[in-house]
Structure 1
Amino acid sequence: MSRLSLIALALLATATQAAPREGTLYKSPTCGCCAAHAVHLREQGWVIREVATQELAEIKQRYGTAVAPSCHTLLMAGYAIEGHVPAAAIERLLREKPASVRALSVPGMPAHSPGMGAYTPGSVAVLAIDHQGKTRPWGKF
């Protein structure tokens, strides 16, 4: 491989890694913890657009997260992220890109998850949701 080819590959890898993660977070107009979760993701360098809406039930139904609902839904890179999912779990999803996973969820609003008080890494149980609406453990983050 030529020196020029190696330089081009290195630049491509750097550009890919440096590209910001972007997503749209749909939330209730009155929810503060949803905005706090967006802050958690922004602290990772991600670009998160917040959209206040009264149509969360329809969004959850459309994107398959109604089976394990929480207070907000984030759409990112073709996946739905339901609730206070830690950035590390989302990073794993985006890195592995499993065809069998449609969404991730942290159902409800558990304490110590990102946006729900002081986050305790390793304490948040995350579920994967498949295309048939079945859930399975994704891990603790």
Structure 2
Amino acid sequence: MNGKIVLISMSRRSILSLGLGAAVLPASLASGTQGPRLEVWKDATCGCCDGWVKHMKAAGFEATVHDVTDLQAVKAAHGVPDALQSCHTAVVDGYVVEGHVPAADVRRLLAERPRAKGLSAPGMPPSSPGMDIPGTPYEVVLFGAPGGDRVWARH
């Protein structure tokens, strides 16, 4: 009988430990310590870029930010077409992320791993993460794919 009580007690303890571990896991992901590493180039004075970085960190990405004065050189070096440019450029796991692309779209990109250069939210869509002015639909474009650029997501 004592063996059963200890066994039940351990079982409850194990379940409790698993529950506490699950509760702690999202907090560690939100801090960016467990997620994909994102490298971002932006202008030092751009508040909307800071907002996008915060959005990505909240979604579990780890971000290293470089404030630069010549973003055009960064965009050219990463092959971002003129028509798809925005206010900041990032790289994650070999993909380019141009502008205010939502974290969910980047996660999908990393999960599906299409043959492409990356994603872009061209311009500065008002309702995109970091801009945060609701009500304006926008598209995220997959670019540099063998079959050409295409819409990746609509928001």
TM-score bracket for the superposition, by shorter chain length: 0.7 to 0.9
Q: State whether structure 2 residue 115 is matched by structure 1 residue 73.
A: no
Alignment match, 1:9? none
Matched, 1:89 2:105: yes
For residues 50-72 of structure 1, the C-alpha deviation after alignment (integer angstroms, 9 at most, x for no partner) is: 11001210111111113310000
Distance (whole Å) between structure 1 residues aligned to residue 85 and residue 145 of structure 2: 16
Write the mapping of 1:92-103 to structure 2, written as runs, cut at 5 A: 92-99=108-115, 101-103=116-118
- Which of 121, 126, 137 is the aligned partner of 2:140? 126
Farther off after superposition, 47-56 or 78-87: 47-56
Q: Distance in 1 between matches of 2:105 and 2:48?
A: 19
Q: Which residue of 2 aligns with 1:43?
A: 58
Between the aligned partners of 2:134 and 2:60, the Cα distance in structure 1 is: 18
Letter in 2 for 1:29: A
**1:116 and 2:122 correspond:** no
Aligned length: 122
Is 1:28 the counterpart of 2:81? The answer is no
Structure 1 residue ranges, 4+ long, deviating more than 3 angstroms after superposition? none
Bigger Rg over Cα:
2
Could you tell me which of 49, 63, 73 is aligned with 2:78?
A: 63
Q: For 2:145 and 2:76, how far apart are their aligned partners in 1?
A: 12
Alpha-carbon distance between aligned partners in 2 of 1:58 and 1:24, rounded to the nearest angstrom: 15
Report the residue type matching 1:57 in the other structure: Q
CA distance in 2, matches of 1:35, 1:124: 20
Q: Which residue pairs with 2:24 in the alignment?
A: none
Shift of 1:131: 5.5
Aligned 8 A contact 1:40 1:115 in 2: yes
Residue 33 (structure 1) shift: 0.5
* CA distance in structure 2 between the partners assigned to 1:124 and 1:88 by the alignment: 15
Aligned partners of 1:104, 1:119: CA distance in 2, in Å?
Answer: 21
- Quote the sequence identity (%): 35
Task: Give the partner amino acid of 1:37.
Answer: W
Gaps of 5+ in 1: 1-17
